Amino acid sequence: MNLDFTVDEQRFREEVRDWLQDNAPRDPQPLEGAEKRAYDVAWQRKQFDAGWAGINWPKAFGGCGMSTTQQLIWHEEYAKANAPDVGSCFVGLNHGGPTLIARGSEAHQAFHLPKILRGETIWCQGFSEPSSGSDLASLRTRGVLDGDHLVVNGQKIWTSYAHVADYQELLVRTDPDVKKHKGITWIICDMSLPGVEVRPIRTMSGERHFCEVFYDDVRIPLDNVVGEINGGWSVAMSTLSFERGTAFMSRQIALARKVEELIELARKTPKGAMGRMAIDDDEIARKLARLRANVAALQAMTYAAISRNERTGMPGPEGSMIKLSFADLSQDLQRIAAEILGPSMLEYEYGDTGWTHDYLRSYLASIGGGTSEIQKEIIADRVLGMPKGR
Amino acid sequence: MDFDLSEEQNMLQDTVRRFFETEAPTTRLLEIYDGDELLDRELWNRSAELGLAGLLVEEQYGGVGLELLDLAVVADAMGYTAAPGPLLGHALTTLALTLGGSEEQKTQWLPKLASGELIGSVAFAEQGDAWQPDQWTLTVSENRVSGTKKNVLFPSDADLFLVGIEGGRMALVERSAEGVSTQEWDGVDRTRRIGGLSLDRAPCELLTGDSSIAERVRDAALILLAADAYGGAHKSVELTVDYTSQRVQFGRTLSHFQGVKHQIADAAAEVEPARALVWYAAYAFDHRPEEAPRLAAIAKAHLTERYVDASRTMVMLHGGIGYTWEFHCQFWLKRAMFDRSYFGSPSVHRERAAVLAGW
């Protein structure tokens, strides 16, 4: 163990800090739609032009090839600079791209990866279906072989940014007669193909970034299959382990930053008797102290996992613990914010950002990307080695 | 001694539930969330025909002459159905007039309020979470009042405001009077729209009596919010049972999974025992006024927090669909946010309860 950053790493940090300070967009990120896409891709392009695109991607594929420690430094400085959330570029940079790097053909890689890095294409994820949420492997969207095409019929749901996306990582059932995990294929769907219809879903916080996607005889060339026909489950799992692994780092650092913002909020929000602030309330002070400790502990665990990952090369199942804990702490944070803000939370206009919006959004933390219940199952089964209940 | 609601009260509750389930079903609530309309005047008129507008008003002024426990039973049913409308502020205005109005004021206002022809609304909250009578700062001189209030229910639709004044006094201000302006916000809970009230030397009529009357009105508000919270929390548990009994994953309904079942059982076990707190506080309000302030504070703090938790469990166990705008979970979740904050957060009222207990 050595808890100091090396001189090189320090120098790297300064370089990152300076660049982000001078270049991170300052205007607010739009909440949804075409404006959000335009904002996100412009920022991605700017990072690409300066050589900062694909921090977790190998150099051979056009990325920065940063070590995980460097990625950590990048994310820390990124959060400190208050740079915008990766937004609609998330799936391409953190799921689609890495999956193509791990499992795609040379043709997939040559065509798609540069476009993702340059902010030219937006990706979305077509995994969940109305009847297949936690039980993802039960998915029913059909892909039927017809010559050199798969003909796709069915429906996906909770597809973030589908209405502004160019490509989709799509899971379809290509063999309904075998065990459910064995008949699934992972295919790249061009969202402009005839028969693809996207309908945005409005969330309770008021914005539309989730969508339903309908497929009516959509003909996708077999060349777009990643991995083998009927071998899509293992491709999907490598995507999900990215989601629950390294891609998670930036959100966690953002969480730690949010804790400090909350403490600032408690310092300047009046509560109770004249002149007293929320932080003077013992109950609130204790909750903040506990939250800060829990977030620090989660970060320490993540750092340890990063070092292990450096040695072994793959994110481990502790990703589920990190995600579970992250969801709980994000929600704790928002509960405390609600306590500090009191009735002023009610003075809300839909379309506003800020604490009320964040409070509503925090409900998603334990649902999206695998519910907390599913994370607990994974922890029990794979981390603790208990018998499978399902 | 009888620890349960009377047959009449149970009937009242059923009637009100059925009324709002029929007249303002979740499809209607979604229209309200989607639209720009403020008050559903037709719904208000129909609920007034049912007697809800004048429930607390004495019969001689055209009301039904019932007690706060009865109104709490109505509030419970309205929480259960996430009923839209201004009844809370309206009922509190009639209560203030009943307790602190002169004979002339009562004769002038109560019959029209009881029939629902006029809508009343309370304007208590001021900047910085200042809801309590001892925190009010507006002053009256020569029967005119200036200053701003916030979190006023349906300010653009109300006809008569009950405004909290310095020293815990209350005054009536007509919306149509000079110097009165209102602002509408979206608000989190669009079934109970709130906004701001600005008064610039607006003509007003003070009610009689000292701050003890305003405190009674405040206590009634806390009890009604607690009752709404119980109704909503109870409904949240019901909706969760219904959904998890239908939704199939891994070849079984979710309700078969212990991890799901236990969360719902926990929610039920948190919510159901709390109902008696509301009844007891309301009964105390009607019959043991010296105990009411502390019980009202406890009930409001406890129930509204239970409601936030139960509605959180509900959204969680609905998964993605529970987080959408179209699906009905959000109506109860946002109502829980409203109940929790309106008239002050749970922590404010726990602290008050501790002081009232002499701690």
pLDDT tens per residue across span B294-337:
999 999 999 999 999 999 999 999 999 999 999 999 999 999 99
**pLDDT tens-place string over residues B148-171:** 999 999 999 999 999 999 999 999
- Asked if B320 contacts B246 with a C-beta cutoff of 8 angstroms, the reply is no
Amino acid in the structure at residue A237: M
Residue for token pair 């009077």: B177
Identify the CATH assignment for A245-383 out of 1.20.140.10, 3.40.50.360, 3.40.225.10, 3.30.70.260: 1.20.140.10
Range with lowest mean pLDDT among A372-381, B63-72, B258-267: A372-381
pLDDT at A240: 65
Three-state SS at B277: helix
Residues of chain A with CATH 1.20.140.10: 245-383
The answer for residues whose C-beta is within 8 angstroms of residue A85's C-beta and 6 or more apart is A29, A254
Element (H, E) at B353: helix B346-356
Q: What percent of chain B is modeled with pLDDT above 70?
A: 100
pLDDT at A181: 92
Average pLDDT over residues A329-353: 91
Q: What percent of chain A is modeled with pLDDT above 90?
A: 67
CATH placement of domain A123-230: 2.40.110.10
Chain A with chain B: Cβ pairs closer than 8 A: 112
Say if A372 is an interface residue toward chain B (CB within 8 Å).
yes
Q: Which residues of B touch A201 (CB under 8 A)?
A: 324-326
CA-based nearest residue to A56, from A23, A94, A14: A94
pLDDT at A315: 63
Average pLDDT over residues B83-112: 97
Tokens of A373: 């219940």
DSSP symbols for A118-168:
TT---EEEE--BTTBSSSGGG---EEEEETTEEEEEEEEE--TTGGG-SEE
Candidates B34, B36, B129, partner chain A, best to mutate (most A CBs within 10 A): B129
CA dist B129 to A174, B208, B302, Å?
59, 26, 19
Residue of higher predicted confidence among A7 and A252: A7
Structural domains of chain B in order of their starting residue, each with its CATH number: 7-115 (1.10.540.10), 120-209 (2.40.110.10), 212-356 (1.20.140.10)
Element (H, E) at A23: helix A7-23
Residue of higher predicted confidence among A299 and B49: B49
pLDDT at A320: 83
Smallest CA–CA separation between B255 and chain A, in Å? 13
CA-based nearest residue to A258, from A90, A80, A18, A77: A80
Residue for token pair 């051979």: A60
Which positions 278-307 of A are in contact with B (Cβ < 8 Å)? 281, 283-284
Q: Which residues of A touch B187 (CB under 8 A)?
A: 346-348
Tell me the average pLDDT of chain B.
Answer: 96
CATH placement of domain A7-117: 1.10.540.10
Local confidence band at B99 (pLDDT 50, 70, 90 cut-offs): very high
Question: Using alpha carbons only, how large is chain B's radius of gyration in Å?
Answer: 20
Tokens of B7: 């047959």
**pLDDT tens-place string over residues A183-236:** 999 999 999 999 999 999 999 998 888 999 999 999 999 999 999 999 999 998
Class of residue A352 by CB neighbours under 10 A (exposed 0-12, middle 13-18, buried 19+): middle
Local confidence band at A389 (pLDDT 50, 70, 90 cut-offs): low
Active centre residues of A (catalytic): 243
Tell me the average pLDDT of chain A.
Answer: 90
The answer for residues whose C-beta is within 8 angstroms of residue A273's C-beta and 6 or more apart is none
Candidates A268, A347, A361, A362, partner chain B, best to mutate (most B CBs within 10 A): A347
Q: Hey, are the CB atoms on B249 and A133 less than 8 Å from each other? A: yes
Residues of chain A with CATH 2.40.110.10: 123-230
**pLDDT tens-place string over residues A292-338:** 999 999 988 888 877 777 777 666 677 788 889 999 999 999 999 99
Average pLDDT over residues B178-182: 97
The answer for residues whose C-beta is within 8 angstroms of residue A178's C-beta and 6 or more apart is A230
Quickly count: other Cβ atoms within 10 Å of residue A180's Cβ. 18
Among B257, B324, B341, whose Cβ lies nearest the Cβ of A204? B324
**pLDDT tens-place string over residues A258-293:** 999 999 999 999 887 667 899 999 999 999 999 999
Q: Which residues of A touch B186 (CB under 8 A)?
A: 348-350
**pLDDT tens-place string over residues B200-223:** 999 999 999 889 999 999 999 999
Give the DSSP letter of residue A204: T
Residues of chain A with CATH 1.10.540.10: 7-117
Question: Cα separation of B48 and A4, whole Å?
Answer: 71
Quickly count: other Cβ atoms within 10 Å of residue A58's Cβ. 13
Where would I find the beta strands (DSSP E) of chain A?
123-126, 142-146, 149-157, 167-173, 184-190, 196-201, 210-221, 225-226
DSSP symbols for A186-198:
EEEEETTSTTEEE
